[in-house]
Homo-oligomer: A and B are copies of this chain.
């Protein structure tokens, strides 16, 4: 972290007077003393590690030769705090999970903050603390960062872009293009919890049974699945656009069709109730702690058993299979024995869900 990465040296080596403001000021993004103060007060204490402490423009670390996974995600969720999590936890877990979907072990993260002038420093502190806990839980180090401040009315409180690198220890090819007819589609648990929670929070719904975001790191689950034997062809975390969109991506990329069994797709009762109230189809609602795996039928039971042994995969089950289909459709066999084509998400059902 430095004047560009994020400044700077001064913060550690001199006594920086504590800012007397409880709000983000434009000067906090200047790259000068106030930025150094912000880093010394908020970012370094939360994320302290030997890479970040160098306060250089970049982190330098050793890697063994092999395959590296690299990913990025901007996070613009509103509200910033919601039942079960906040933007900080989401930003860490989202990037961890994008690495996990390659079967990588996540190692290092970066975080770039865009803050609106006037944003509460107390809220920033809570967000950073939450990121720190999520990083510890996922056993990743936040090693590089940046802070920019934009004038009032030119952002919405706090946006966070996280990027990450991880090592891929296995030599398998896991990609959305890897599904083959005959493969089984496994879902790791009940769907639509994150998106429904966000929409309920925005609508300020009173709920009998409170629901929570499912935001969680999934890399340990994936590493166990890889250990189990069997052939994993695709992995996807069905975030924005939900299960329907993720499976359409797999079908399109793999030039195959997918047939789903509606009754095997778990949706918890309170989630289903709120979806009905808000007119949402759970298949299109974002998840932040679930994964879809497309696996060869032989060995699928071993993968499923490995998933069910972990809390993140306790409710894992087969929800469908890959078929030959020149139209690359995703088709849902409904409870009433009908068929419905499940298309990709159209339009903007759920903006700013992550």
Contact = CB atoms under 8 A, between A and B. Distances in A.
A143 interface: yes
Given A13-B252, A328-B13, A60 B56 contact: no
A168 interface: yes
A345 B32 contact: yes
Nearest to A72: B110
A5 interface: yes
Interface in A311-354: 328, 343-352, 354
Given A7-B245, A8-B344, A66 B62 contact: yes
Contacts of A102: 56-58, 60
Contacts of A60: 67-70, 102, 104, 168
Given A101-B58, A155-B156, A9 B251 contact: yes
Interface string A237-271: 11111000110111111110000000000000000
Interface in A136-167: 143-151, 153-156, 159, 161, 163, 165
Given A4-B237, A112-B73, A245-B3, A9 B253 contact: yes
Contacts of A55: 176, 249, 253
Nearest to A327: B14
13 contacts: A2-B249, A4-B97, A8-B249, A10-B344, A29-B240, A60-B67, A62-B67, A63-B67, A72-B111, A72-B144, A114-B114, A155-B155, A161-B163
Given A26-B351, A74-B112, 5 more contacts: A2-B246, A3-B238, A59-B69, A144-B163, A161-B163
Q: Shortest 9 CB-CB distances between A and B: which pairs? A: A32-B345, A31-B240, A9-B253, A31-B241, A9-B252, A65-B65, A163-B163, A72-B110, A161-B161
